[in-house]
Structure 1
């Protein structure tokens, strides 16, 4: 009973502890402007994490999300548009391109039996090669000013990216936790053979999970591009690891079939706060990598104990 209580409250307690630490290290942390900045930083990460959570719940992972984010950012500049009226068109094309990448990943895993690691690793490398071939190492082209507003602007006092994250979370959260499709994802991830026996087309569920993951990575890439304000070949670098780590922190089991979207998003916020603490303490960037590895070990051990208990 005690362990169940601890496991259920581990994420919110960790989040509260980190907020307390941040408030001590940086007295201005709780200022409205700073909280808005933290939310703006978290939004693109959390978008990718939401998609990654669907794949992990299906017993997979997606290593191509960071490369896809950069490729989508480059694709957006290929329009060489300056009018904000082009933003919906750019978004639609980028989302469609992201879905196609997810479809390829899903087909490789579900239909060809390629391991998620190898399938998405191959996609990551192919996207990187295509991106560098197109840009010749230096992306060019222009973007409408509205992208900057989407990535770093405010609407009614709230970051625009946070509002977009809320809409994505609400829609996909309902899909996962309230719709019949969500139950099929949990069953497929928990026991694919049992899913087939009860008539669930596990291959279709897997394909859909990868499509959703890529679409969220593409959207996250567009908002991150707007936040950073520039486009290069490495937009989103490291997000493939960050998204997996955030899911693990938030209690999404790497063995599939167990976890929540709320926990995954909370894990993204925890990760951002940890990185902010590293910066405040003046630690080298290598400290972030050490922390990521340590967090994975601790979270994985905790989930393994939960599974046994």
Structure 2
């Protein structure tokens, strides 16, 4: 009986120690948080790299890819995703105004110049009377495209329209260019049917172009470019979310700068350091 009693006590002590260790181990293991980030297009190399680096912070970044600019803000507002990264401030302001949403920027990423591309000419000076020009059909990117055509010396627009002119605001079009408004995702695909197309940088990269090499005219990056800085966006209630701020910090890193240079060939310029000065 004494032997059995001793064995029983020993067994209980061992089981107790195991239970405490097991519970302590469970408590010590940090919970992984999954965050869904919406992007537009197929090129997610930079965010894939950020995703890997976030694992050490127990953040699982799920990248959700959309095919056009109309989807990610709606998905964010409906709670289908937690963040998105595809737009500049003017686009966001226009979306909030038109849809009654309250989405806010929580961090800057890059500025990606809009470009004029062609399969038929090598210089904008080669454009002829009546040539077809494709531009994005949304207010903000369409306005940006018209301003770029003005910078290239091809048209003039009413300055009263500021940064969102429409084709109705064109005050001079000496070449009588035929301007076709298409979904931003379609302007690259329309190159065979147009003389030139104005293509957003991300869409151009997806189409196989290197913007600062292949564009026949590229938007200048200067002090007037700030409204076109791309941003990471969240719901207003989440603007101070600590997990989301870690994601912003992981993006705004030297590793990202190096990868952007490699993947975009210098066509996308990191701006967060200058933006915070």
Identify the TM-score tier after normalising by the shorter chain. under 0.3
Higher relative contact order (CA 8 A, sep 6+): 1
More helix by share: 1
TM-score by length of 2: 0.21
Over alpha carbons, which structure has the higher Rg? 2
